[in-house]
Amino acid sequence: MDRFTVSLEEELLARFDAHIRDRGYANRSEAVRDILRRTLEAERLEAEEGDCVACFSYVYDHGARELSRRLTETAHAHHGLTLSTLHVHLDHDTCMEAAILHGPAAEVRRYADAVAAETGVRHGSLNAVPVDGAHPHHPRD
């Protein structure tokens, strides 16, 4: 393992140490490694290379005009990406869905963007993990 020295302003270092405490990291190196990995992986996914497995979650109003139908159409248009979907009725009007997706990062990103852009969809959040070479079992396989 290589070492390097980082210079930080006092205030930034104090915030970083608070972050380390909050997250329960054993030490600064562990936290820096995690932040670096996250940043580099996000960058790679932005560059749309390779495959990923992702959890895409969002909240929507099932009563919003035509929204449920449009979401179903979008999901079917990208059916090859979905490994599993969890639907929870949060309250009278609101549903939450969490979909586990697998496929080319660019396609996964496009699908998530299309859903998140629908009027009435809120809190769209995509958490993607690069998985080159992994072959998760699709339910229909």
Tell me the site size for Ni ion, rule CB under 5 A: 2
Q: Which long-range contacts (CB under 8 A, 24 or more apart) does 72-81 make?
A: 74/111, 74/114, 74/115, 74/118, 75/99, 75/115, 78/107, 78/111, 80/138, 81/107, 81/108, 81/111
Residue closer to Ni ion by CB (options 20, 67) is 67
**Per CB under 5 A, 126 contacts Ni ion:** no
For residue 95, the minimal CB distance to Ni ion (Å) is: 3
**Per CB under 5 A, 89 contacts Ni ion:** yes
For residue 82, the minimal CB distance to Ni ion (Å) is: 17
> Which region, judged by CB under 5 A, interacts with Ni ion, from 12-20, 29-37, 93-101, 111-119?
93-101
Which residues contact Ni ion by CB under 5 A? 89, 95
